[in-house]
Structure 1
Amino acid sequence: MLFVWILLLSPVLAGLEWQLVANESSTSPPRRSDHAMGFVSLGNSSYLILFAGRSYSNQPMHDTWIFEMQDNTAGVWRNVTKSMHPPARFSMVYGSSDGYFYIATGEGINQQYFNDFWKFDTRTNEWTELGRTAMLNVTNLFHPQSRYGAAGGIFPGGSKFFVHQGFSHTRHFDTLVFDVNTMEWNIVDCKAGQCNSYTPYYPHARCLHAGTLLDPNKLVIFGGCLSGGGTGGECPSGDTWMFDSQTLSWTEYPSCPVPRIYGSMAMLPSRRGQNRVLLYGGIEDTPQVIQTTKSPATLVGLFDPSTRTWSLHKTNAKQSFPVSRASVAMVTGHDGIFMFGGYDVNRGSLLGDLWFLRGDAYTAQNTATVSCSGSFTNFILAHGCLMVIGWGIFTVWGAFIARYAKSSGKTWFYLHIILQVTGQLCSIAGFIMAVLSVQSQHFGFAHGIIGLVVVILGILQPINAVFRPLLPKPYCRKSFRRILWEFIHHFGGTSGILLALANISLGVFVANTRSVAWVVWFVYLGIVVVVNVVSHFAQECLENRRKPMEFLELIPGSEKSIYNYKPKMAEGNV
């Protein structure tokens, strides 16, 4: 009896288990990364469709392969490439529904970007372009901007194919939907000019992120690269967002997996009312990263749509585990998830093996969990901290001392110099961190341009201070050179501080910081503003009281009292 129970419980106890289905061979697809793969069931037969990708020479491919499965752990590859096929490409969005396999967008030869949409029919092994050639008679036919590195797909049984953000010569904000029934594109979020990198209520423009459909109307995304292409942000990032196409709204949820680019997502098969999104692979260490906790090849992330939470789980293996990889194609099957190829992140080589991760949303709960305690530091964090310290603390209060805390001695002057010089050293170091953090087009967006102006103004301040004219002796008028220098020094310092404070305020949103950072910064900024305003009016009052009574004279024969003065009369007047 005990033996029977062990047999019945064995699938549950196994949790998530890797198994090698097919290794690379002379009759299998060549090694590749950034390819597309779909799972199609027709009657009692199931197929994997593999299309295109990036070769080892970094060239786009255009071949189509079918893996005809005998069961989840065996099958045969065959090349079904025909003369009619989508142009060669990689980094496209893909998915399968109702017996068809779909692909959209991608990057081709010589950085040619696509905005087309294709359907593969497994019954005939034929490709057909939709939405363009099929509707030439439709006027004002809308097509999205060409791009690659987008996320999205189609939910099995659904008709909406999502394409989210991506990159061409700029980062895109929009979310698009292609209806496979009407063969029409629609922008459902962030139409041209409506979104920017300084609003925290939707995901900032990115590419190379992971994404999948939770149901026909909900898209979940994770991570990606937010830097370059006219934007500045984390690359990799580690934020999680869900889009509801029915309410046209985004919601951000707490994240647990290590930030990454080139990661992959797929839904585990549902069971007993449980649903889980699986996140696997990716590149976690980029030139922007200072330190990160790398995920082992045995670790996967699971997102629970019902609780909106992540958890990290250790997988098992029947014989061996797949090597750590990125840019893989993953697709949901009947009893688990299939994965093909990708980029070996340790050896720097491409892969051509087919794996099966057996398990479902219910059994996945029985795998060993790992705490979300990994550490992550990048140049953006270092840049932000240095700029807040340099401009938000040292420079602000150094200028405050020079403006409102002067004394008869020179203590204030030396303190002013120490704070300003320290602040500018932090600013220069922060500027270097900013250049290192942005992948390209460092000054192609507002935060970068303002930051450059601020750093230049900051460097000019101590330089022009060296050439300041001397102060005149007491009761002597200031020279024109002194008056001009004071204006330049005051205007340059004030402009630099105001721009710096404004740019730091923009930066807390560009950097995808958590809400607690916004609160701390803006509360501190409010304190700075209040202290300076109060000090300004207090100084004005004191100066008015200390003005020499040059326009008043004592009434003859009266005692010195504030009540015994009268306005002086001009000479010659009686």
Structure 2
Amino acid sequence: MSSKLLLVLLCCVCVSMGAPVTWTELSTTSTPPPARWNAGLAIVNGVGYLFGGEGTPASGLLEDMWMFTVTGSTVVWTDMSGSGPSARYGFVNGVVDGYWIISHGCNNEMCFSDAWAFNTATNTWSLLVNSTTQTAPRGRFTSAGGVYPGGRDLWLSMGQNIASVSRKFSDTWVLRVNTSGAQLTAEWEEVSSGGGLDQYNPFLPHARSLHAGAPLSPDTFAIVGGCAAGGQVGGPCPMEDSWTISLSERVWREYPHCPSGRTRAVLTPVPGFEGNGYLLGGSESWGPGVFSPQLTPKEVNASEVVLMTTNATTFNWLRLKSDGGNFPENLDSPSVAVDATSGVVYYFGGRRLEDGAFQHRMWTLGGDGLDQPDLGCSQPQYTYVHLHGTLMYLAWGLFFPLGVLLARYYRWTWPCWFVFHVIMQCLGVLVTVAGFVVIFLVGSYNEPAFPHAIVGIVLTTLMIQQFLSGIFHPCVDKEDGKTPPKEKSTYRKCWELYHAISGFLTVAIGLGQVTLGVFLIKAPLTVWAVWVGMGSAWLIAFVVHECVYVCCKIAHRGQKIY
């Protein structure tokens, strides 16, 4: 009896133990598809499909269709190209009841807002959503999306369009697919509208593109990282934040940072573990030889698999090292699909970070990693955007307010006030110019087309004119060459009034601008605490000094302030 009980216990232990995550490269006995990235990949009843994407300069945009089957560690490819969606890349896709649904994406000239369905039983494409006659999200690419295995909703979250002035989006939608009728139908439904000022709302994810995202349960969709710079918005690129939204509650929840910020990564649900996802690939820069936005670069480790675990009450990150020495190289924008039947994750193509070469290798990822040791969270990133913020923090949170305080309240009591006023203002100008230059080092993604950037240009212009007006101020004429006159000239009085009002206005705008910036970078609590503390300290200091100043002015009615 005891031996049977021991056997049962051992079986339970074996079942509860997780399997380490392991990569396997598949060989092929047929001609593989051309190398590409930003393509679509799907597994339907054990058969795989590949469509579209962007290939090498020689291949260009692709509109080919491929089917593949896997036996052991061998993949066999079959070209099925024919009539169907036009060439595109960066679209979202997923499987619903034997239909492979793809939607949106762009070519080099325009973005699409249509949706197509591939019937795997008849191997034919059909137009599922005609955006000219049906409501659909605006055309875009590099969005996050997908269908949870066994689900019926295709998610589409955020992304960017192609236009003379491109735009990034903060909205999230689901395509409700109905396969029960005589004809396949679908209808878009907005889950989260977003808005033009969402980049300043700390309770919502910023508009972005190049982010990873996938449904991790029938009700929950997750996004990780991406790029918030450019596209008429602003923010870090790459981003380190991660969010989930519930389809039933329609509320975004932010989770602690752990993996390094990255763009062009992929997120896929872990088969058989609802609420879990694998974060794979991606990079911290925009491509080989492109300026890195990081001051302390640390590329994504190729052997690293990040496990994201969520449920209604908890959230956790696990950074895992894949078992064995064989794993894909660091890749941008690979394609990923889950076989819900076998529990295998397929991983295809992408662009190699080392040299920008496009790939057409196929890998599988198995295991759940639940019992593997955690590598721990990455250190917080410090980018040029953060350096820009630090410099502006010093200029508008310290140097300029201190200079104004000295000029306003200490000019009659401290002989050295003017020297220190000039020093503070010069330091503020130098640090602001440095911060202004730094933000443009991150490239053309930071076009001045959103509120923080526009206000920044206006503020810099005000600062320069204020600084020049101080340098070329009218001197007080001295009657005997030694003592100033009893009455200042009208010109001098007007200049002093103008310089004072302009100075206060510029500093006030600067304080508000830094506050917008803190919202924009989604600063951690410590940064907020420091900024709120500094702002409160300056407010108290100016109120106290102004009260003393007014009292002194009343007590000495005969003295003129200007």
- TM-score using structure 2 length: 0.89
Q: Would the alpha carbon gap of residues 87 and 65 (structure 1) be closer, same or farther in structure 2, given more than 3 Å must change?
A: same
Q: 2:32 aligns to what?
A: 28
State the alpha-carbon separation in 1 of the partners of residues 196 and 315 from structure 2: 27
Q: 2:543 aligns to what?
A: 533
- Over residues 83-140 of structure 1, what are the superposed CA-to-partner deviations in whole Å (9 max), with x where a residue is unaligned? x2101001111111322211111111x331011111111111111111229xx8xxx7
Shift of 1:269: 1.6
| Map 1:7-86 → 2, pairs under 5 A | 15-22=20-27, 27-41=31-45, 46-57=46-57, 59-71=60-72, 73-82=73-82, 84-86=83-85
Q: Would the alpha carbon gap of residues 204 and 375 (structure 1) be closer, same or farther in structure 2, given more than 3 Å must change?
A: closer
Counterpart check, 1:129 vs 2:122 = no
State the alpha-carbon separation in 2 of the partners of residues 549 and 310 from structure 1: 67
Unmatched 5+ residue regions in structure 1? 551-574
Q: 1:547 aligns to what?
A: 557
Give the match's secondary structure for 1:433.
Answer: helix
Q: Would the alpha carbon gap of residues 141 and 285 (structure 1) be closer, same or farther in structure 2, given more than 3 Å must change?
A: closer
State the alpha-carbon separation in 2 of the partners of residues 247 and 383 from structure 1: 37
Give the match's secondary structure for 2:399.
Answer: helix
Counterpart check, 1:142 vs 2:150 = no
| Map 1:297-446 → 2, pairs under 5 A | 297-306=302-311, 307-317=314-324, 320-333=326-339, 334-360=342-368, 364-407=369-412, 410-437=415-442, 439-440=444-445, 442-446=447-451
State the alpha-carbon separation in 2 of the partners of residues 326 and 180 from structure 1: 30
- Over residues 183-223 of structure 1, what are the superposed CA-to-partner deviations in whole Å (9 max), with x where a residue is unaligned? 111222126x4652111111110001000101122100000
Counterpart check, 1:104 vs 2:103 = yes
State the alpha-carbon separation in 2 of the partners of residues 230 and 476 from structure 1: 55
Shift of 1:463: 1.8
8 Å contact kept, 2:260–2:378: no
Q: 2:206 aligns to what?
A: 204
| Map 1:174-189 → 2, pairs under 5 A | 174-181=171-178, 182-189=185-192
- Over residues 361-420 of structure 1, what are the superposed CA-to-partner deviations in whole Å (9 max), with x where a residue is unaligned? xxx122232121435211110010000101110111111011012235531111111111
Q: 1:94 aligns to what?
A: 93
State the alpha-carbon separation in 1 of the partners of residues 18 and 233 from structure 2: 46
State the alpha-carbon separation in 2 of the partners of residues 183 and 342 from structure 1: 30
Give the match's secondary structure for 1:290.
Answer: coil
State the alpha-carbon separation in 2 of the partners of residues 101 and 325 from structure 1: 25
8 Å contact kept, 2:198–2:204: no
Task: Choose 288-297 or 227-236, whichever is displaced more.
Answer: 288-297
8 Å contact kept, 1:269–1:275: no
State the alpha-carbon separation in 1 of the partners of residues 246 and 16 from structure 2: 34
- TM-score using structure 1 length: 0.87
Give the match's secondary structure for 2:284.
Answer: coil
Larger Rg belongs to: 1
Task: Choose 163-172 or 54-63, whichever is displaced more.
Answer: 54-63
The one-letter amino acid of 1:56's match is T
State the alpha-carbon separation in 1 of the partners of residues 70 and 401 from structure 2: 68
- Over residues 139-160 of structure 1, what are the superposed CA-to-partner deviations in whole Å (9 max), with x where a residue is unaligned? x731211000100111122221
The one-letter amino acid of 2:203's match is Y
Moved over 4 A (4+): 8-14, 472-475
The one-letter amino acid of 1:543's match is K
Q: Would the alpha carbon gap of residues 160 and 16 (structure 1) be closer, same or farther in structure 2, given more than 3 Å must change?
A: same
The one-letter amino acid of 1:155's match is Y
8 Å contact kept, 2:153–2:177: yes
Q: 1:570 aligns to what?
A: none
State the alpha-carbon separation in 1 of the partners of residues 18 and 303 from structure 2: 17
State the alpha-carbon separation in 2 of the partners of residues 297 and 256 from structure 1: 17
Task: Choose 118-127 or 288-297, whichever is displaced more.
Answer: 288-297
State the alpha-carbon separation in 2 of the partners of residues 13 and 201 from structure 1: 35
Q: CA RMSD in A?
A: 2.4
Counterpart check, 1:522 vs 2:527 = no
State the alpha-carbon separation in 1 of the partners of residues 297 and 336 from structure 2: 25
The one-letter amino acid of 1:34's match is N
The one-letter amino acid of 1:518's match is W
The one-letter amino acid of 2:38's match is D
Q: 1:279 aligns to what?
A: 279
State the alpha-carbon separation in 2 of the partners of residues 130 and 244 from structure 1: 25
The one-letter amino acid of 1:38's match is A
Shift of 1:460: 2.3
Q: Would the alpha carbon gap of residues 338 and 255 (structure 1) be closer, same or farther in structure 2, given more than 3 Å must change?
A: same
State the alpha-carbon separation in 1 of the partners of residues 55 and 134 from structure 2: 34
8 Å contact kept, 1:151–1:210: yes
State the alpha-carbon separation in 2 of the partners of residues 516 and 417 from structure 1: 31
Counterpart check, 1:173 vs 2:170 = yes
Q: 2:7 aligns to what?
A: none
Match of 2:251 among 241, 249, 252: 249
State the alpha-carbon separation in 2 of the partners of residues 40 and 523 from structure 1: 57
State the alpha-carbon separation in 1 of the partners of residues 36 and 394 from structure 2: 46
Shift of 1:522: 2.1
The one-letter amino acid of 1:338's match is Y
Q: Would the alpha carbon gap of residues 194 and 408 (structure 1) be closer, same or farther in structure 2, given more than 3 Å must change?
A: closer
State the alpha-carbon separation in 2 of the partners of residues 498 and 184 from structure 1: 48
The one-letter amino acid of 2:190's match is I
Give the match's secondary structure for 2:345.
Answer: strand
Give the match's secondary structure for 1:118.
Answer: strand
8 Å contact kept, 2:18–2:370: no
State the alpha-carbon separation in 2 of the partners of residues 542 and 450 from structure 1: 37
Q: Would the alpha carbon gap of residues 130 and 359 (structure 1) be closer, same or farther in structure 2, given more than 3 Å must change?
A: same
Q: 2:193 aligns to what?
A: 190
Shift of 1:321: 1.8
Shift of 1:492: 2.2
Q: How many matched pairs?
A: 527
State the alpha-carbon separation in 2 of the partners of residues 184 and 301 from structure 1: 34
Would you tell me which structure has more strand in proportion to its own residues? 1
